[in-house]
Amino acid sequence: MVWIHSPGSPQASGTGTLQIYLIDVNDNAPVLVPKDAQICERARHNSRINITASDADAEPNVGPFVFELPSFPASIRRNWTISRLSGDYAQLRLRIPYLEPAVYEIPVIVSDSGNPPLSNRSMIRIKVCSCDNNGDCSATGAVAAAGLGTGAIIAILICIIILLTMVLLFVVWMKRREKERQAKPLLIDPEDDVRDNILKYDEEGGGEEDQ
User: What does the pLDDT look like over 94-124, one tens digit per residue?
Assistant: 999 999 988 999 999 999 988 888 999 999 9
Q: Is the pLDDT at 49 greater than 60, yes or no?
A: yes
Which helix (DSSP H) or strand (DSSP E) does residue 5 occupy?
strand 2-5
For residue 84, the cross-strand partners are: 90
Burial class (CB in 10 A: 0-12, 13-18, 19+), 128: buried
Instruction: Give the pLDDT band of residue 135 (cuts 50, 70, 90).
Output: confident
Write down the pLDDT at residue 137. 78
User: E strand or H helix at 140, and its extent?
Assistant: helix 139-145
Q: How many helices and strands, by DSSP H and E, does the chain display?
A: 3, 10
Q: Is 16 exposed, middle or buried (0-12, 13-18, 19+ CB in 10 A)?
A: exposed
Would you say 131 and 138 are in contact if contact means Cβ atoms under 8 Å apart? Answer: yes
| E strands present in 24-130 | 31-33, 36-40, 48-54, 66-68, 80-84, 90-94, 102-111, 119-129
Q: What is the pLDDT of residues 156-195, one digit of tens each?
A: 888 899 999 999 998 888 888 888 777 765 555 555 555 5
pLDDT, position 51 = 93
State the Cα–Cα distance between residues 144 and 138, nearest whole angstrom. Answer: 10
Q: Cα 126 vs. chain centroid, distance in angstroms? A: 10
Check residue 147 and give left, alpha or beta (phi > 0: left; psi -120 to 50: alpha).
left
